Structure 1
Amino acid sequence: MSSKRTYPIGTPGQKWTMKEKAEWLAQLTIKRSYLDEVVTKIDALRDRFDVSQYGALSYDTEKYPLFVIKSRPWNAQKPTILVTGGVHGYETSGVHGALQFVDEKAQHYSQYFNILVAPCVSPWGYETINRWNPNAIDPNRSFYDNSPAEESAALMKMVKDQGVDILAHIDLHETTDTDETEFRPALAARDGIEYKPGSIPDGFYVVGDTDNPHDAFQKAIIDEVRKVTHIAPPDDEGKIIGSPVSQEGVIDYPLKKLGLCAGLSDCQYSSTTEVYPDSPLVTPSECNNAQVAAIVGALEYILRQQ
């Protein structure tokens, strides 16, 4: 689908000041509960996994604690796998797919790997169903030193504090219709640039690393996911969200240059998943299943290489 929209906040061609950011923030409301929908599921995993709090968002430290889930037994001799969800809090299956993977699959794969899962990096964004944090900053463009996003800074510190090398990082995301109806128009307005309408692909795809693409690894993810949902086709120009398709269902970004979550480490393998939850062909459960399948496809590929 595609759309065209003039954003109601700000003056076209002028970057937002604190005034416009405050106006944007004032229109947002809490739409769902992080504590009820996410933290309760994390707590239910404590009998099988090590769960620890690695921080809390300053917006409300009681409402927005940050949790990491670790497999047992942790063994420094095993390679470590990092799974992240909810970097964009509104992307629901990223959060619940990560939790479903832990519940259903992580114990099996812990015989081969240390597994580190941060299921909801941006809980304020989860509750307000938003891409940004309250400061109108996108956490998934903020994974670099002295990050302006506390969500990103906290996750980077947590990963560093583990004192291990990350072999593979799977970052779970969605591409939604609201990317075009709300979030990209808001981005253009915030930055004082012209909004150019794009299109949302109907189906699953992944984003690899331009500087370290690992085509066979990405293909293994796509092949596993196609068992549970359909793969996004390219548009008439052979692109997905404006980027050339390198193979079926795969595009590549320079992860570190863009400050993306999947580029926070120097891991050998990385992939950012993109589920399309607004497709008439899928259910919320199938979206979660696609996220789980993506992680499984990645891990099975790595096991075949050993």
Structure 2
Amino acid sequence: MPRIKKVHSFNSVINRLKNISIYPGSIETIQTYQTSTGFYPLIKIVLGKGNSLRALISAGIHGDESGGIESILKFLKNEEYLAYINEWEITLLPCINPYGYEFSTRTNHQGKDLNRLFKVKKPPLEVSFAQSILDTGFNLIIDLHEDNESQGYYLYQNGLGKKYEGIGLEILNSLDGIMPINLETEIAGSEACQGVIGKKLEISSMDWWPMALYGLSKGTQMCLTLETSSLFDMETRISAHLTAIKTAFKHFQ
């Protein structure tokens, strides 16, 4: 089997984070793991520490979906967070699967799809890392993804109660003029309505959980999995994700 080649450099992501002017001590390496191709740090960034409202924004659990990682970098570089950190403590996980990012693979170095392993008894290190963050409790979770088969943006929403059930449509409406919405009635095997996949789930009976449902099991009020279409250029995908993030925060205020 031919050896796969690196597509991206995770060191360049680290260097870009270091060059972004954010609060001292906000970037923390929680763990570092080693593969045959090198060492990979698992990074957490916390802004607005101690605020009562708590949000988690994550990306890169699927390494071949680089738009989410770029969106978090732009969110930080443009200081988008300044609009929220008087009220919110914002935790960012810029890349949960750094090996997958470097080699542009959906899976980690063990060939595992990390976003299917949040219910197993002995999860991979990257999943344990994310779980340790999720266990601390959040009001809002935003997990950034991409879909190379979708003609437009769509999202999954899972929440507790009805208070925020309109958030998905509000997000998609905010993307008018940025990216079209996937209006198919079935997306990725799930029933969808106007780009929102939000079927009520009996999560305790499910065989596997993605990251969002693990967060829901820990009492998160609203879990959003946002999907850009990677058929569009990177700047468009970043713009769509950043607009969606801003709309989600606005909906909670």
Q: Give the TM-score taking structure 1 as reference length.
A: 0.73
| Distance verdict in 2 for CA 1:61–1:43, change over 3 Å | farther
Deviations 1:274-299 (A, max 9, x none): 11111xxx321110111111111110
- Cα offsets for 1:76-109 (capped at 9, x unmatched): x421000000010110111111221233311221
Query: Which residue of the other structure, out of 229, 238, 243, is the alignment partner of 1:288?
Result: 238
* 1:101-150 CA distance string (max 9 Å, x none): 23331122111211000010000000010011121110111123534321
Tell me, yes or no, if structure 1 residue 172 matches structure 2 residue 121: no
Q: Which residue of 1 aligns with 2:44?
A: 68
Q: Is the 8 A contact 2:159 2:165 kept in 1?
A: no
Matches within 5 A, 1:58-97: 58-59=34-35, 63-72=39-48, 74-75=49-50, 77-97=51-71
SS in 2 for 1:151: helix
Which residues in structure 2 correspond to 1:200-219 (within 5 Å)? 200-209=149-158, 214-219=164-169
Distance 1:45 1:275, change over 3 A: same
Local SS of the residue matching 1:136: coil
Name the CA shift for 1:208/1:98 in 2 (closer, same or farther; >3 Å): same
Instruction: Give how far 1:227 is off.
Output: 4.4
2:213 corresponds to 1:263: yes
Equivalent position of 2:228 in the other structure: 275
Backbone CA RMSD of aligned residues: 2.3
* Residue equivalent to 1:251: 197
Of 75, 84, 90, 1:115 maps to 90
Summarize deviations over 1:189-246 as a string: whole Å, max 9, x none. Answer: xxxxxxxxxxx32000001228768530111211222342111120xxx21122111x
Corresponding residue SS for 1:259: coil
Instruction: Return closer, same or farther for 1:62/1:159 CA change in 2, 3 Å cut-off.
Output: farther
The one-letter code matched in structure 2 to 1:173 is H
Q: CA deviation at 1:156?
A: 1.3
Whole-Å separation in 1 of the counterparts to 2:244 and 2:183: 17
How big is each residue's C-alpha offset from its partner over 1:18-72, in whole Å with a ceiling of 9 and x where there is no partner? xxxxx5xx64222221111x11221123543611111122326963111111113
- Read off the aligned partner of 2:29 and give its amino acid letter: Q
Which residue matches 2:250? 300
State percent identity of aligned pairs: 22
Deviates more, 1:55-64 or 1:105-114: 55-64
- 1:100 equivalent among 74, 80, 84: 74
- Following the alignment from structure 1 to structure 2, what is the Cα–Cα distance between the partners of residues 271 and 92? 18
**Does the 8 Å CA contact 2:160/2:220 hold for their aligned counterparts?**
no
Contact 2:160 2:222 in 1 (8 A): no
Aligned to 2:127: 152
- Counterparts in 2 of 1:242 and 1:159: CA distance versus 1, 3 Å: closer
1:240 to 2:187 alignment: yes
Matches of 1:270 and 1:45 in 2, distance apart? Answer: 28
Provide the secondary structure at the position in 2 that maps to 1:63. Answer: strand
Q: Looking at secondary structure, tell me which structure has more strand per residue.
A: 2
Note the residue ranges of structure 1 that are not aligned, 5 or more in a row.
1-22, 177-199
Alignment length, in residue pairs? 243
What is the alpha-carbon distance in structure 2 between the residues aligned to residue 255 and residue 270 of structure 1? 15
Decide whether aligned partners of structure 1 residues 239 and 118 sit closer, same or farther in structure 2, where only a CA change above 3 A counts: same
Larger Rg: 1
TM-score (norm 2): 0.87
Distance in 1 (alpha carbons) for counterparts of 2:64 and 2:161: 28
Contact 2:159 2:223 in 1 (8 A): no
Q: Which amino acid aligns with 1:168?
A: L
Measure the CA separation in 2 of the matches of 1:146 and 1:108: 39
Distance 2:202 2:42 in 1: 24
The gaps in structure 2 that reach 5 residues or longer are: none
